[in-house]
Structure 1
Amino acid sequence: MRRHALPLPVLTAVALSLLAALPIEARDASAVRGEAFAREHCARCHALGRRGASTMREAPPFRTLAGRFPVDDLADVLAEGVDHRHPAMPDFRLDPTDAANLAVYLKALRR
């Protein structure tokens, strides 16, 4: 049985069109890692997606954080440490890689 291979330009065009159809977050590995970090550490209180309310009223949805803080500086702030932002939020300091990934995810929520 002989297979018919598609020419490389056709395969490339198909791959690019599939990639373009994905949400921005799915295309950016840092945003995906940032979302995974947020799901593990922040989702108990904060809404993470483009819709929905936070389970804790005092905890702002992540989609609003990009509008409240300069996202390009947010990775540095997260790595330096964050003090209580709402009463139940613990103080924390993120590893620089986790901070950068989380900042990329927050930035992706603005799109």
Structure 2
Amino acid sequence: MLFDDKDHPDRSHPRIPMSVPVLVTDVQGRTFHLETRDLSHGGAFLEWSDCDAPELPKLKTREPGERLAVQPAELGDPPDVSLDQTPEVQAEIVRVEDHGLAVRFLNER
């Protein structure tokens, strides 16, 4: 099931609802545990609804254009896939909302 993008007609890639725990690292090296709400070839929406309270003020003050590294967190319980096995993707914040960040993946060549 793809999201209906009536609110974002300029979107280049369809979004797929997908909840994946991710580790987000900012340019200062601080890490945050978030979860994807949706994912596309070009980006994702990262929610902080279950984020630890001390992290929230740092996340909510992010600005569009700031860069982050996004990496799937360890998957499974116990983890079947560890952090050293998951790719890290460079991303740029597109917008900040009450419950999370929209990011665009950057093509590193």
Q: RCO higher in 1 or 2 (8 Å CA, sep ≥ 6)?
A: 1
Give the TM-score, by structure 2 length.
0.29
The structure in which a higher percent of residues are strand is 2
The structure in which a higher percent of residues are helix is 1
